[in-house]
Structures are given as structure tokens and as C-alpha cells.
Amino acid sequence: MEKDLLTHQVIGCAIEVHRGLGPGLLESAYEHCLAHELHNKGIPFEQQVPMPVTYNGTRLDCGYRIDILVNRCLILELKATEKLTATHEAQLLTYMKLSKMRKGLLINFNVSQLIKGIKRFVL
């Protein structure tokens, strides 16, 4: 129940950012503004968290980064694109599997209403 509340709060923060900025900006702008909103709400998070790949028993830094990790249990993959694709979904699902996190949100800010740009994933 607590984690569902967290997801609800994060979506609320994302909606606030979208209301303030609208569509059309770079992903990085939305990331920084969402981080600001999460901070203001007292929601713990980390930005640009390294996501190493384990290959043949060795952890390798291949340059992958989680956009925002909320409360060490919810991955946010942010986009500012014309439409979400299967590749975007695969990216989030891979991050979830590699990190062993069960919940993720794929959020596309380049939409008229943000609710149309949010996809929830649970493993």
C-alpha cells in the first residue's frame, strides 16, 4: 500500500511539472524540474544512478543511468519524444531487471495531457 501511495505521489509531482512547463522541452529540463518537485515534497530520490551490467560475473559500467530512482524502489525513465516505443519500454524493463526493482514508470512529457504519457510497469 505504501509503495502505491509513493507511485501516486510521484505521478502527482510529474503532473505539476507538466502543468508548469507543458510539452516541447528537452528531457533534461523535465528531469531537473521533477527532481525539484520531489525535493519540495520531501520524497527521497537519486538522479542519474549508474546501472552497471554484469557480464561473466563481472560488474561493468557501460554508461547506463537510471534517470531518477525514487526511495530506492521506483525507477523513473523520462522521455520527451513524439511517442513512446517498444524500445523505451524495453529500456525501463531492462533497468528494472538489472536492479531487481519491481516498479517503474515510463513518463513522456511531450504530450498534451501527461496522463496519456505515463506507463506503469510491475515485475
pLDDT at 99: 93
Record the cell numbers describing residue 123, joined without a space. 515485475
pLDDT at 54: 87
Adjacency order of strands within the sheet including 118-122: 45-50, 65-70, 74-79, 103-108, 118-122
Q: How confident is the model at residue 1 (pLDDT cuts 50, 70, 90)?
A: very low
75 vs 112: CA distance, rounded Å:
23
Q: How confident is the model at residue 16 (pLDDT cuts 50, 70, 90)?
A: very high
pTM (2 d.p.): 0.93
Residue 71, exposed/middle/buried by CB under 10 A (0-12, 13-18, 19+)? middle
Q: How confident is the model at residue 2 (pLDDT cuts 50, 70, 90)?
A: low
Report CA dihedral (16, 48, 75, 113) to the nearest 10 degrees. 30
- Could you tell me the residue ranges of all domains in the chain? 2-122
Angle at 14 between CA 11 and CA 20, to 5 degrees: 145
- In this predicted model, what pLDDT tens digit does every residue of 68-120 receive, in sequence order? 999 999 999 999 999 999 999 999 999 999 999 999 999 999 999 999 999 99
Record the cell numbers describing residue 91, joined without a space. 529500456
109 vs 18: CA distance, rounded Å:
7
